[in-house]
Structure 1
Amino acid sequence: MTQRCRPSAASPPPTTLPRRRRGNALIPVILVLFMAAFWPSHAADKENLASFDKVWSTIKEKHWNLEKTGVDWIKIGETYRPKAKKTSTRGEMRKVIRAMISELGQSHFNVYGGDGFATLETALGDFTRGGNGTLGFEVALVDDRLLVTRVHKNVLDAESGIQIGTEILAHSGKKLKPVIDDMTELYGDMAQGRLYMNRTLNSLFEDSPGMDKELTTVTNGKEQTRTFKMHPPLGRPKTILNLPTVHYEYQSEVMSDNIGYLTFNIFIPDVKTQFDNETLPSFKETDGMIIDLRGNGGGIGFIAVALSNRILSQQSKLGTMSNQGGTLNFAVFPQKPIYDKPIAILIDGGSASTSEIMAAGLQDLKRAKVFGTRSAGAALPSIIETLPNGDRFQYAIADYTSVGGRHVEGNGVEPDEVTPHTATSLKAGKDAALEAARQWIKSGGQL
């Protein structure tokens, strides 16, 4: 059994981000990105050059297969270091390092300016205090507006004034647009930026249970400011191996149109147990199944295999992961009973790691149709380190290839049918991806 793709304990700490509410489930990504208190506006020449050397040596030492890239990394260093020595600012050095990295031809390596992180950290300080409590809803940036995309009805009732499509304008008397603009600027060109945006937006509404949050919202054209109470985290606390405790959520139901709906927020052994013992028996006579992996940040890789064993009728594999230690196949061996009805998978920018492995593999094998928006592109152990000059260097230490030969890291999984939330659909209380998946299954579910 393999743990969710992550750096080893001996590796430098990964850059982390505030957890998405469902990603309470995420094995902590709580932001080394925002650890430094300040960065100088101009780094000294020696710090710039040390940053160049750090990037070059890290790739040389930690890339899983430089030879396979076809690039002579020693020669690349000899070519770019003289250019690096001529730079005098971080911006100039950043351009040289990015040009050097581009020689690899791989999307999951990049360097980012440290100033943007400092700006965002300061802005977030007005809103976030940490904690694992929930207000009972999830948000996303839709048509440049911060809208509620999911409401947990066991937490919020109709009297709360919060519903799908509610726009949130302000938090604790402060407008949210400036901090959202900072996020958009910082994450816009960043590998896995969709994932970071998703988590950071939802972190704005995290705090300790029992605390009050004052929000200004607009629902059905009516603006109001109200105080909401933070509730305990959703799901059951679970401790897996030596990882921090997470709160596990699992929902399985047969909808009114005889389509099974399954969603969970982390891939752990409990998912396999509940899928076999609860979901498969109750879905036996359904016309199809929707597996909603939106906001699911991953977990144990081989749980995706364990689920696929029940929905693939022939021996295959979801993909292959390679690092300096060798290769690992996510091999599938069918186990009866097999669910043989149409399967739709929903993904978004918060779907990462094992979610992407499962979605890409079943998509390549023509066993599922994928709906939603492009996934996070975070299938690998991706690390972000602070360089001597304050900039940030992101790199991967393994390679994942789907069974169809696609590199998911940095690219994400592209849905077969792109169905993003829109302000119009949310205002009507509709989930665009879910509705499209239901229509596809009802029409026969042909691939």
Structure 2
Amino acid sequence: MKLVATSLLSLSLSLAPLCANADELRAKETFAVVWERLQNSGFNGKQESPDWTALKAEHQSDIESAKDIDALRREISELLEALKASHLELIPSSAFPKKGEAPKSGNAELGLRLAVIDNHLMVERTIPGHAASSAGIRPGWIVEKIGNFDLAGVLAKKHAGKSLKPRGLTVLQLTVNGMVSAIAPGTTLDLQLRDADGGLRMVALTARENAQTQTVLLPNLPPLPLRFESHRLPVAGGCVLQVEYSQWAMPAYDQLMQTLREHGDCRGVIIDLRGNSGGLIASLSAISGLFVDKPVSLGTMITTGGDLKLTALPRVVDNDGKDIRRFSGPLAILTDRGSASCSDIFAGGLQALGRARIFGDTSAGMALVSASIPLPSGDHLLYPTADFVDPNGRRIEGVGVIPDTPSPPTARALRDGRDPALEAALAWIDTSA
């Protein structure tokens, strides 16, 4: 259930090499596969269906007559964008390891998280010991360019009324965070920034391996980095456990299960899903099960073949027969516009059940169930297979999960070294536990 197979897809379409000639494109067969999957996907649920006849008339000829791989990708992407839904992406073949080749390592990062704030792309967080903090970059700085990607120009056009594509700011935030957090060790990126005083800073950052990050392989998706962090925060009368993981995958469940064993005595737990763009739906059911005492529905997947309940599944013992420590105390979830797909559903489901309270900013609203298949052209298609509604019947797609306590970041707070969402969550736990 991955939002964007890599957060760089929209950018990678323009950067992917021209790796096939016209004879190798198999454009007509590729269109046939794409069209069949889109028509039968059922992603609209009970919403009004697109005008399939008009869409086919507008896009089929351009796709089938594409002369090179770049043109084919561009035309297919235009068709996908016309459907105005999440989980519709064309994944270039270059994102996957070649046959017989080991998966490329993507477990390096520059050590910063970015967010769109006040019509600027700002540094929201830096990780000590990584390239960004070592170079003196601080939260609240404005990022104007990453390489040749003119972020300031993109946001200026949006501010002037020239709107971005649907979900533009969300996709932009996901894309740039992918650029700085899912890259090979040794990769260098040039950044143009403005510091807190408005001074221009030109910085070259080289990605470093992160011992807390591992490469996760999901079916028909490129290798994805999973970073897991936990912090025991001292508070009056005990502690609060803060956990952050960058993808939804079973290794995140395993690490969280062990972390709860070690720190389950804390008064509350904070799950930080800011920037977590999705992953494997099975891990969502498993992780949710660590916070409930019996199976409960997190919502309903609406497919063309019928409705399916998505269930939080608590386990009693792990694979080694050891008791699993579930947490029943106050649970806070931090979200932002980069919290997508599984993150949307986890936050929305537990909020609707009254099991968790949400802090931060409204989530991405990209909450469709998806799958990925190879295409005759060599690329892969990520496409939605079902709509989703929470336990109260509320559709999250296109809306997002609205925090119980809105506490988005501000430029002033970042420059002062504050985290409004974390502060609000800690204050709530302090009064609840």
Q: Above 0.5 in TM-score?
A: yes
- Indicate if the aligned counterparts of 1:133 and 1:230 stay in contact, CA closer than 8 A: no
Query: 218, 222, 241: which is aligned to 1:244?
Result: 222
Match of 1:309 in 2: 289
- Tell which deviates more after alignment, 166-175 or 196-205: 166-175
Task: Tell me the CA shift for residue 169 of structure 1.
Answer: 3.9
Distance in 1 (CA, whole Å) between partners of 2:222 and 2:38 is: 32
Give the structure-1-normalised TM-score.
Answer: 0.67
| 1:335-387 residue CA offsets vs partner (Å, 9 max, x unmatched) | 45331110100111111111111111100000100011111122215799xxx
Q: Structure 1 269/60 Cα, relative in aligned 2: closer, same or farther at 3 Å?
A: closer
State the distance in 1 between where 2:192 and 2:393 align. 47
How far apart, CA to CA, are the structure 2 residues paired with 1:33 and 1:306?
A: 34
- 8 Å contact kept, 2:340–2:363: yes
Helix, strand or coil: the match of 1:357?
helix
Aligned twin of 2:176: 201
Displacement after TM superposition at 1:255 (Å): 0.6
Alignment partners' CA distance in 1, 2:256 and 2:153: 43
Label 1:382 to 1:256 Cα distance change in 2 as closer, same or farther (>3 A): same
Deviation at 1:227, TM superposition (A): 3.4
Residue 414 (structure 1) aligns with: 402
Structure 2: 5+ residue stretches without partners:
18-31, 59-78, 89-105, 317-324, 373-381
Structure 2 CA distance for aligned equivalents of residues 175 and 77 of structure 1: 35
In structure 2, the residue corresponding to 1:254 is in which secondary structure?
strand
Which residue matches 2:258?
277
Aligned counterpart in structure 2 of residue 260 of structure 1, from 220, 241, 249: 241
* Aligned counterparts, 1:126-165, within 5 A: 133-156=108-131, 160-165=135-140
Deviations 1:229-277 (A, max 9, x none): 3123534333435443222211112112211101101111112211222
Query: Which residue does 2:99 correspond to in 1?
Result: none
| Counterpart Cα distance in 2 of 1:318 and 1:215 | 41
CA contact (8 A) 1:166 1:220 kept: yes
- Map 1:66-215; keep pairs closer than 5 Å: 68=46, 108=85, 133-156=108-131, 160-170=135-145, 176-182=151-157, 188=164, 190-191=166-167, 193-202=168-177, 205=180, 209-215=185-191
- Write the letter of the residue equivalent to 1:201: V
Relative distance call for 1:66 and 1:381 in structure 2 (3 A) is closer
* Alignment-derived partner of residue 207 in structure 2: 231
Aligned to 2:290, what secondary structure does the other structure show?
A: coil
Query: How far off is 1:146 after superposition?
Result: 2.4
Contact persistence 1:187–1:194 (CA under 8 A): no
TM-superposed deviation, 1:163: 1.6
For residue 93 of structure 2, what is the aligned residue in structure 1? none
RMSD between superposed Cα atoms in Å:
4.4
* Residues 298-447 of structure 1: pairs in structure 2 closer than 5 A: 298-335=278-315, 337-381=325-369, 396-444=384-432
Matched, 1:289 2:265: no
Distance in 2, Cα, partners of 1:70 & 1:227? 48
CA distance in 1, matches of 2:248, 2:345: 11
**Once the two structures are superposed, what CA deviation does each residue of 1:308-345 show, in whole Å capped at 9, x if it has no partner?**
22211343111121222443322234445331110100
| Aligned AA (1:134) | E
What residue identity is the alignment partner of 1:160? A
Q: Measured at CA, do residues 245 and 66 of structure 1 come closer, stay the same or move farther in structure 2, by a change above 3 Å?
A: closer
Q: Partner of 1:409: helix, strand, or coil? A: coil
Q: Would you say the 8 A contact 2:130–2:208 is kept in 1?
A: no
In structure 1, the gaps of 5 or more residues are: 7-14, 20-28, 38-53, 85-96, 102-106, 112-130, 385-393
Mapped partners of 2:193, 2:110: distance in 1: 14
Contact 1:210/1:230 (CA < 8 Å) preserved in 2? yes
Cα separation, partners in 2 of 1:204 and 1:307, compared to 1, 3 Å: closer
Q: TM-score, normalised by structure 2?
A: 0.69
CA spacing shift, 1:108–1:224, aligned 2, 3 Å: closer
Aligned to 1:89: none
The answer (yes or no) to whether the contact 2:298–2:346 under 8 Å persists in 1 is yes
For the residues of structure 1 that align with 2:2 and 2:113, how far apart are their CA atoms?
A: 25
Q: Residues 212 and 110 of structure 1: is their aligned pair in 2 closer, same or farther, counting only changes over 3 Å?
A: closer
SS at structure 1 position matched to 2:311: strand
How far the C-alpha of 1:440 sits from its partner, in A, is 1.1
